Structure 1
Amino acid sequence: LKEWTKAMPEGSIVATDIGNNSSMANSYLRFSDVRQHISALSWGNCGFAYGAALGAKVGRPDKPVFAFQGDGAYGISGLSEVMTAVREDIPVIAIVANNLEWGAEKKNQIDFFGNRFVGVNLPENPDYAKLAEVMGAKGYRVTHADEVGDAVRDAVASGRPCVIDAVIQGGEEVLAEPFRRDAFQPPQRFLPKYSHLT
């Protein structure tokens, strides 16, 4: 995140998804003006960011526009919408935080289900940079923080749809605290006629 924000041009628009990676990004990104950050926030739909970034770029073609998604969310919509960006010549830059897990769900399973993991580990992902190139976009695969800045600057300068496949560390020790911790708490009933349902 630090290297990306240092390389991101002033005035860029960023659409973030839901999930663990995006909740961290939402905490650290800083903007100098209004209408630069588009986010689904805590109960938005997974896969939101890439479509939102496409719309932002159509509305503001003069601004660099980024979609920041984890690998799970990117697989829901970003992966297929790269073809839309190429076909319609919408130069959005996707940054995929590729950590081989559904991080938010994994953190919930750590906190509420005693580290019993079901369906949260992604055993392997495709090379998202190569897939982008097959679809006609530019692809970058970065595995070290010192590669991120050059990839971001080159993607912005290219004026084309781009995907930066950022391979990052996954695992329990790096997951952020969930921002919807109350989701697994018993419901509160405030109307007497529903009190028997608690």
Structure 2
Amino acid sequence: MKLASYIDHTLLKPSATVEDIITLCEEAVKHEFAAVCVNPIYADLAAHHLAGTGIKTAVVIGFPLGATITAIKAAEAKEAVLRKANELDMVINIGAAKAGLWEVVTEDIRQVVEAADGAIVKVIIETGLLTEEEKRQACLAVIDAGAHFVKTSTGFASTGATVEDIHLLKKIAGDKIGIKASGGIRTREQALALIAAGATRLGTSAGVTITGG
């Protein structure tokens, strides 16, 4: 197993500069990560620096709160794809999830999937804010909406990815969709434990350290 191939090399800090994103892309190429994950403003910049490398450009949508109007999420997704994003990491309507409005949650995701026009859609359910039953329902909504991955966390909540949550999501998702663990992944040991639990992708800003680079 090549650990680097699981990693989305991530920089989502509001203070990130053009130079920081270029460095992120250079590190991704050097270590052969799966993708870089950036804010929408840097979609075309990342795509330009990764062109021809096989490394994907992932862009966050409705990030980090998930409280953006669905039509705006869809427009953001469409614009990101026009700017050469290969993958979109969207945040669900967390408030609707907490209220048990699962049709609203599912439709929110579905519209982003449609706007993505074939690009990979990973859906952040923010596990740290959900009960176990809400995590189950959120994962089912991701599957029903036609997305490609369920993702644990934004990294902006108080808790991130846990082995227990990956086990739970794997039980629900099986092999229907991928599972991305993200939030608080800082060590190689953590990364390997999450993969062993069922994660098929890892989102982390510590990829260079984790892979021993």
TM-score tier (shorter): 0.3 to 0.5
Q: State the TM-score, normalized to the length of structure 1.
A: 0.36
> What TM-score do the two structures reach when normalised by structure 2?
0.34
Structure of larger gyration radius: 1
